[in-house]
Amino acid sequence: MAKVPVQFRLNGSDRAAFVAPADNLLTLLRRGLNEFGPKYGCGQGTCGTCTVLIDGELQLSCLTLAATCEGRHVETVSGMANGPTLHPIQQAFMEHFAAQCGFCTPGMLTAARALLEANPTPSREEVIDGISGNICRCTGYEAIIEAILAAARSGQVRRA
Amino acid sequence: MLEFRKDLFAAERDDNLNVVGKGAQRQDMPGHVTGRSPFFDDHAFEGLLHLKVVRSPHHHARIRHIDTSAAERAPGVKRVLRGADVPVNKNTLLSLINFGKDDEPTLAVSKVSYKGEPVVAIIAETEHQALAARALVRVDYEVIPHVFDVEEALKPGAPVVNETYPNNYFDYHDRYDHSKLRFGDVERAFAGADFIVDDRYQMSPIEHAPTETNGSIAAPEQNDRFVVHSCAQGLFFSLGTAAKILNLESNRLHFVGGTVGGGFGGKVDSLTEPLSILGAMMTGQPVRYVLDREEEMLYGSPRGAERIYIKDGIMRDGRIVARRIRSYFDAGAYTRLSSYAAIKCTAHLPGPYTIPNVSADIYVAYTNRCPSTAMRGFGITAVDFALEVHMDKGAEACGMDPMEFRILNAYRDGDMKAHRRVAKNTALIECVQVVADKTGWPLSDQARRQSSLTGGGGARADIPATVLDDNGRIGRPETRTGPVTETLPAGTMRIPMTKQPIMEGSAEARPTPPAVPQYEPYRPTPPANQPAYQPQPYQPTPTAPPPTQAAPPSPPSAPPPASAPPTQHGAVRFSSVFGTRRR
Ligand code: FES
Ligand code: FES
């Protein structure tokens, strides 16, 4: 099938690639652009490990056609830290032991970021709702919720 | 004389590892929170190929013919692998420690024994191409009868699941159809018991469902080696398994791992490594073989289902005087680690209780299901569930509080376990006391005063005269309550081994491996001052309380057990498999 060009921004830098019309964004990021932040967990929109932001909105990259990202801004976990300085949510995840195997963590962090940028002072229920699309099989939910609430309390996450 | 300067790295040699009780940052956390932890699939390779397998759609079928010609011609296909391409196409995981016979092919050749068994592997330039070519493989199957139930599988005339074990059971040391435990005389104790509590427990298989599915990437490296990025939980176990299956020197494999995206036991089977390495060998290119979520859920090996029968004999005062257990492990179609799970199960019986008469028969049965494997305490967890539910039923039968019932029957330091080792560092009583405390469960003062450190040993350390029988022998179900064949005198530690086990080598390609783990020769150790056999040696109390009284009486204070050798740490994990302890 003929490939089509796609240009978009990835974590603030310009990227261009040729993709098959059926290619999803997750495959393009991982296999085309060597951006390994988002993970494959199911490929069918059920686990949330592939979560990214597209123009600031939470999206599952395994269910997003790569070609539809033309001209948009894709952000992954890899763009969260500012050089060696961790994002406040990353810092809170470190301090609250909010990762065990770490495989769900990129998706969790991205979901938490989307939540706090839209609602800097969420309730516990809103945090639970905010990560409800993300599965952690290592049973880290309690620590993850605590970490996100702590990041919110730190007041360092700005409304987008 | 040349000497290394010790001052240069002095700080790295700090052995002061007193971190228990203090917070410490995990060294892998920065990688996790920045998304940089390198999982096996997070590696870029130029010219990466993708491998997909054709799986059996049948539970049990003979393979009449395989036609891969259309798949080989499909766009992007680099190579199609069949069973004949696998150098040693039969393996069992624990053969690395010389336990069990090779029984599982990497790619099925003449028959499939479970739905999802790999038959053909397709290697193509893209995943889409591999999937498209997979659909073009034609396999002509002759479906044959299957068996799913462990007890049905052990009946005469059941379909033979696994040709290596034609009776559908794992045979221990080539001659035992199950794992057996005998201590005392359960039949006699049942006859004298006030209550009999008898029940059956059935577990389900459980999928580990790791967030990261099983997979690996293998690539040719310099010096004729292969680098393998793997999610294996036992990286060197996987390396050894792959080297054996591929008939490669193990130093030609360079395994990289340590980042496991959730395993829980489901990543010890080397499900993908041998084929991705074989693919890299055959194509000269990097090959990636990753299970998709559906494959992971349906064909990634689960925790094996177990069926457990427990029969307890209980006295009116709450003492359990006899426990008989019959348990069946569902191995699925191939052994993997079930043989080991069953040994763990046997060694765990009768649970953390001191029961003077114990009898157990533990089977590993083959069925036409997905092979089962390790998962979080496998061999122990299911039987513990059954035992603890049974304890509640026992407490109910004799009208006792379930917590006090456990404290009364709990093992204590110095007690003799049914497999003839002295119980040490026991803490069940304390655990129950803490649980009662935390949950506000009322306990009698007497139960609160009990301690694992006192009251054990003495008569409770005796090994009773033990009846041997053929009960449980497969094909002779009538012997389940069969006659006594022999009675071992009280104090007998071991039954002599009559024959050295046959060492198992891979018949296909390798010489018999060096027989490293050897049986310890039987050394009779006549016990000194062995007390005479008493029908009821169990004596937690000098006087039995009335049946409805909830408080267990204090056990007589017994002298502490003769100083035991120091507890061994490390290097004994698999020793139970061989029935011997490494020293
Ligand atoms: S991989 Fe996208 S939701 Fe699971
Ligand atoms: S930390 Fe392992 S899945 Fe969440």
Scored b (16 or more CB within 10 A) or e, B45-82 reads beebbbbbbbbbebbbbebeebebeebeebebbbbbbb
Residues in chain B closer than 8 A to A103 (CB atoms): 39, 210-212, 261-262
Dist. CA B444–CA B12, nearest whole Å: 53
Nearest CA in chain B to A30: B42
Q: Which long-range contacts (CB under 8 A, 24 or more apart) does A52-59 make?
A: A52/A25, A52/A76, A52/A110, A53/A110, A53/A113, A53/A114, A56/A114, A56/A117, A56/A160, A57/A114, A58/A110, A58/A111, A58/A114, A58/A133, A59/A25
Ligand 1: distance of its center to the CA of B27 in Å? 27
At A43 the pLDDT is 96
pLDDT band at B472 (very low <50, low <70, confident <90, very high): confident
Asked if A104 has any chain B CB less than 8 Å from its own CB, the reply is: yes
> pLDDT value at position B351?
96
* Residues of chain B neighbouring A77 (CB-CB closer than 8 A): 34-35
Which letter does DSSP use for residue B369 in this model?
S
A61: helix, strand or coil: helix
Query: ∠A49-A53-A55 over CA atoms, to 5°?
Result: 165
Residue whose tokens read 């730190």: A154
Tell me the shortest Cα–Cα distance from B30 to chain A, in angstroms: 7
**Could you tell me if the CB of A45 is within 6 A of ligand 1?**
yes
In eight-state DSSP terms, residue B411 is -
Nearest Cα to Cα of residue A66 among A78, A80, A77, A50: A50
* β-bridge mates for residue A17, sequence order: A6
Considering only alpha carbons, which residue of chain B is nearest residue A139?
B262
B101-117 residue pLDDT tens:
999 999 999 999 999 99
Q: What is the mean pLDDT of residues B409-415?
A: 97
The alpha carbon of A32 and the centre of ligand 2 are apart by a number of angstroms equal to: 25
- Best substitution site from B26, B39, B211 to test ligand 2's pocket, by max atoms within 8 Å of Cβ? B211
pLDDT surpasses 70 at B160:
yes
**What is d(CA B345, CA B310) in angstroms, rounded to the nearest whole number?**
13
Q: List the structure tokens of B5.
A: 């300067």
- What's the complex ipTM? 0.96
B169-199 residue pLDDT tens: 998 877 788 999 999 999 999 999 999 999 9
- C-alpha B180/C-alpha B169 separation (Å) is 14
Give the model's pLDDT for residue B496: 64
Nearest ligand to the CA atom of B208: 2
Are B291 and B299 in contact by the 8 Å Cβ rule? The answer is: yes
* pLDDT class of B40 with cuts at 50, 70, 90: very high
Q: How confident is the model at residue B25 (pLDDT cuts 50, 70, 90)?
A: confident
As a whole number of angstroms, the distance between CA B516 and CA B489 comes to: 33
| Tens digit of each residue's pLDDT (9 = 90 or more) over B218-229 | 999 988 999 999
Q: Are residues B460 and B539 in contact, defined by beta-carbon separation less than 8 angstroms?
A: yes
Label residue B321 by pLDDT band (50, 70, 90).
very high
Mutation test of ligand 2: which of A104, A108, A139, A144 has the most ligand atoms closer than 8 Å to its C-beta?
A: A104
> Assign residue B147 a region: left if phi > 0, alpha if psi is -120 to 50, beta otherwise?
beta
CB contact under 8 A, A105 and B33: yes
A22 close to ligand 1 (CB < 6 Angstrom)? no
Taking the CA atoms of chain A, what radius of gyration do you get in angstroms?
Answer: 15
Q: Which of B373, B379, B338, B117 is nearest to B266 (CA)?
A: B373
* Angstrom distance (rounded) from CA B93 to CA B102: 8
- The per-residue pLDDT for A1 is 64
pLDDT tens-place string over residues B526-572: 344 444 333 343 344 433 343 443 434 444 344 344 444 433 333 33
Report yes or no: B350 and B314 within 8 Å, Cβ to Cβ: no
Best of B211, B264, B295, B298 to disrupt the A interface by mutation (most A CBs within 10 Å)?
A: B211
Which region holds residue B166: left if phi is over 0, alpha if psi is between -120 and 50, else beta? Answer: alpha
- Binary contact (B37, A102; C-beta < 8 A): yes
- Which H or E run contains B327? strand B320-332
Supply φ then ψ for residue B311, to 5 degrees: -130, 125
B255 C-alpha to ligand 1 centroid (Å): 27
Answer whether B500's CB lies under 8 Å from B175's CB.
no
pLDDT interval class at B497 (50, 70, 90):
low
- How much is the pLDDT for B20? 83
What is the predicted pLDDT for the residue at B498?
52
pLDDT, position B475: 54
Please check the confidence at residue B509 and state whether its pLDDT lies above 70. no
Give residue B500's pLDDT. 45
**Res B481: pLDDT:** 57
Q: How large is the average pLDDT for residues B498-517? A: 39
CA of B83 to the centre of ligand 2 (A): 36
Q: Is the CB of A60 under 6 A from ligand 1?
A: yes
More confident residue, B18 or A29: A29
Token reading at B279: 């693919």
Say which residues have a Cβ less than 8 Å from residue B178's Cβ, sequence separation at least 6. B169, B172, B342, B361, B362, B363, B364, B472, B474
Indicate the residue of A34, A40, A99 with minimum beta-carbon distance to B32: A99
Looking at residue B562, its pLDDT comes to 42
What is the average pLDDT value for chain B, to the nearest integer?
A: 86
Give the pLDDT of residue A140: 77
The mean per-residue pLDDT over the stretch B8-27 comes to 79
> Greater confidence, B389 or B156?
B389
**pLDDT score recorded for residue B494:** 73
Whole-number Å distance between alpha carbons of B342 and B306: 10
Phi first, then psi: give them for residue A128, nearest 5 degrees: -60, -45
Q: How far is A24 from chain B (nearest CA, A)?
A: 12
CA distance A77 to chain B (A): 6
pLDDT confidence band for B503 (50 / 70 / 90): very low
Query: In this predicted structure, what is the pLDDT of residue B506?
Result: 34
What pLDDT shows up at residue B190?
97
Distance, in Å, from the CA atom of B211 to the CA atom of A104, rounded to the nearest integer, reads 7
Task: Inspect the interface and report whether the beta carbons of B261 and A77 lie closer than 8 Å.
Answer: no
Task: Assign domain B151-204+302-488 to its CATH architecture.
Answer: 2-Layer Sandwich (3.30)
d(CA B88, CA B105): 8
DSSP B269: S
Dist. CA B478–CA B176, nearest whole Å: 18
Tens of pLDDT, residue by residue, chain A (160 residues): 689 999 999 999 999 999 999 999 999 999 999 999 999 999 999 999 999 999 999 999 999 999 999 999 999 999 999 999 999 999 999 999 999 999 999 999 999 999 999 999 999 999 999 999 999 999 779 999 999 999 999 989 887 7
DSSP annotation of A31: I
Average pLDDT of the residues in B16-28 = 82
Q: How far is B481 from chain A (nearest CA, A)?
A: 45
Domain segments of chain B: what residues?
Answer: 49-144+208-299, 151-204+302-488
Q: Closest by alpha carbon to B384, among B308, B468, B471?
A: B308
For residue B283, CA distances in Å to B78, B337, B456 come to 7, 32, 65
- Say yes or no: CB of residue A50 within 6 Å of ligand 1: yes
pLDDT for the residue B360? 96
Nearest to B33 among A94, A103, A138 (CB): A94
CA atoms within 13 A on the CB side of B332: 29
pLDDT in tens, B233-255: 999 999 999 999 999 999 999 99
Distance of CA B75 to the CA centre of its chain: 44
Tell me the pairing of strands A13-19 and A4-10. antiparallel
Ligand 2 centroid to A149 CA: how many Å?
Answer: 19
Please, where are the H alpha helices in chain A? 25-27, 88-95, 105-118, 124-130, 141-154
Q: Given an 8 Å threshold on Cβ–Cβ distance, is A101 in contact with B261? A: yes
Q: What is the CA radius of gyration of chain B?
A: 27
Cα–ligand 1 centroid distance for A43 (angstroms) = 5
The mean pLDDT value for B458-481 works out to: 76
Residue A20: CB atoms within 10 A of its CB come to: 17
CATH class of B49-144+208-299: alpha beta
Looking at residues B62-88, what average pLDDT do you find? Answer: 98
Closest Cα in chain B to A34: B44
Is the CB of residue A160 less than 8 Å away from at least one CB of chain B? no
Task: Return the C-alpha torsion angle B473, B479, B485, B491, nearest 10.
Answer: 70
Instruction: Give the closest residue (by CA) to ligand 2 atom 3.
Output: A136
Residue B525 pLDDT exceeds 50:
no
Tokens of B502: 């046959």
Q: Please give the pLDDT value at position B569.
A: 36
Distance CA A124, CA A150 (A): 11
| Ordered DSSP codes for B145-164 | -----HHHHTSTT---S-TT
3-state SS assignment for residue B206 = strand
Please report, for residues B21, B203, B427, the alpha-carbon distance to residue B569 in angstroms, rounded to integers and kept in the order given. Answer: 21, 32, 18
Phi/psi region, residue B27 (left: phi>0; alpha: psi -120 to 50; beta: rest), is alpha
Whether A31 and B48 lie within 8 Å, measured CB to CB: yes
Ligand 2 lining (C-beta closer than 6 Å):
A 99-104, 136-138, 140; B 211, 262
Q: With 70 as the cut, is the pLDDT of residue B56 above it?
A: yes
Distance separating alpha carbons of residues B390 and B164, to the nearest angstrom: 36
B29 to chain A, closest Cα gap in Å: 6
Q: Which of B102, B108, B86 is nearest to B368 (CA)?
A: B108
Measuring from atom 3 of ligand 1, which residue has the nearest CA?
A45
Nearest to A101 among B25, B262, B292 (CB): B262
**Under 8 Å between Cβ of B97 and B514:** no
| A52 backbone dihedrals φ, ψ, rounded to 5° | -135, 170
Quick one: closest CA in A to B210, which residue? A137
Phi, psi of A153 (to 5 degrees): -65, -30
CA separation for the pair A112, A29 (Å, rounded): 21
Asked whether the predicted pLDDT for residue B358 surpasses 60, the reply is: yes
